[in-house]
């Protein structure tokens, strides 16, 4: 689940005068709480948050990248979501599974918002409440897409869809080149594959001319249609 993709264009309100909230939303839904937010910096691999029971904070990724993981007792790992700047998390942390959030890159920084303050903001500010409702619904829809991917797509389709999704999220400006901040093994655990299969699949896509790999962590999308599994 990619928790949130911040749609700034939605907030480009022409009426600035009377609505301070919509002006704040040009940044992010919780901007009103920034004065009381805590900032945290992490290095690559560092654990940010472990959910044992309900979270006491909402988190917002400010810069860098993070992964939200679930572990089985025997070591199997599933990455539930990759988190990028603007993404919120923490609100769906129940203690059902062993969820971790870890930084992927050095210099990953986050803002922490106390749960109580967020809940108070939701009840007091209708625009924020609306925006958060939209964000949670959006992450639900994203989740359903991931369900299809993990359930019924082949390795080629999963990797293709992943690259397209990442290109949309990370490079709206340059939609044909993405820098993957995560390792192959992370992609594997995100797509429910093995690291070797991810490698092999990328090689196949390159040989087919669907993508180019200037460096190990840079991907250029050459033939977009070759990556889409027709639904």
Partner DNA sequence: CGATCTTTTGACCCCACTCAAGGTATGTGG
Partner DNA sequence: CCACATACCTTGAGTGGGGTCAAAAGATCG
**Which listed residue (143, 195, 212, 226) binds DNA by CB under 7 A?**
195
Residues 170-209 that bind a copy of itself (CB under 8 A): 192
Q: Which of residues 149-168 bind DNA (CB under 7 A)?
A: 154-156
Min dist. Cβ of residue 79 to DNA (A): 13
Which residues, other chains included, contact 15 with Cβ-Cβ below 8 Å and sequence gap of 6+? 22
- Alpha-carbon distance of 19 to 15, in angstroms, equals 7
If binding is defined by CB under 7 A, does position 183 make contact with DNA? yes
| C-beta of residue 82 within 8 angstroms of C-beta of residue 67 | yes
**β-bridge partners, 70:** 78, 99
Site for DNA contains 194 (CB under 7 A): yes
Closest of 105, 132, 113, 127 to residue 44, by C-alpha: 105
Please list, in sequence order, all residues whose beta carbon lies within 8 angstroms of the beta carbon of residue 115, skipping any fewer than 6 positions away: 54, 55, 56, 57, 58
Applying CB under 8 A, which residues contact a copy of itself? Answer: 1, 70-74, 76-78, 80, 91-92, 94, 96-99, 122-123, 126, 129, 133, 136-137, 139-141, 143-148, 150-152, 192, 229-231
Applying CB under 7 A, which residues contact DNA? Answer: 154-156, 183-185, 192-200, 202-203, 213, 215-217
């Amino acid at each position: 689940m990619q928790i949130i993709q911040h749609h700034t264009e939605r907030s480009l309100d022409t009426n600035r005068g009377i609505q301070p909230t919509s002006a704040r939303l040009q940044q992010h839904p919780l901007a009103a709480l920034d004065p009381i937010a805590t900032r945290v910096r992490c290095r690559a691999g560092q654990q940010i948050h472990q959910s044992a029971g309900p979270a006491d904070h909402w988190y917002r990724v400010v810069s860098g990248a993070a992964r939200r993981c679930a572990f089985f007792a025997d070591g199997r790992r599933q990455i539930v979501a990759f988190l990028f700047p603007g993404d919120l998390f923490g609100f769906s942390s129940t203690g059902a599974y062993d969820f971790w959030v870890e930084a992927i890159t050095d210099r990953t920084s986050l803002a922490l918002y106390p749960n109580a303050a967020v809940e108070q903001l939701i009840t007091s500010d209708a625009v924020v409440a609306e925006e958060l409702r939209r964000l949670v619904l959006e992450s639900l829809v994203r989740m359903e897409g991931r369900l299809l991917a993990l359930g019924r797509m082949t390795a080629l389709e999963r990797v293709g869809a992943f690259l397209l999704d990442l290109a949309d999220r990370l490079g709206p400006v340059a939609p044909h080149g993405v820098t993957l901040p995560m390792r192959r093994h992370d992609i594997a655990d995100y797509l429910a594959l093995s690291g070797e299969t991810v490698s092999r699949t990328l090689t196949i896509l390159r040989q087919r001319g669907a993508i180019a790999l200037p460096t190990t962590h840079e991907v250029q999308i050459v033939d977009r249609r070759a990556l889409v599994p027709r639904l």
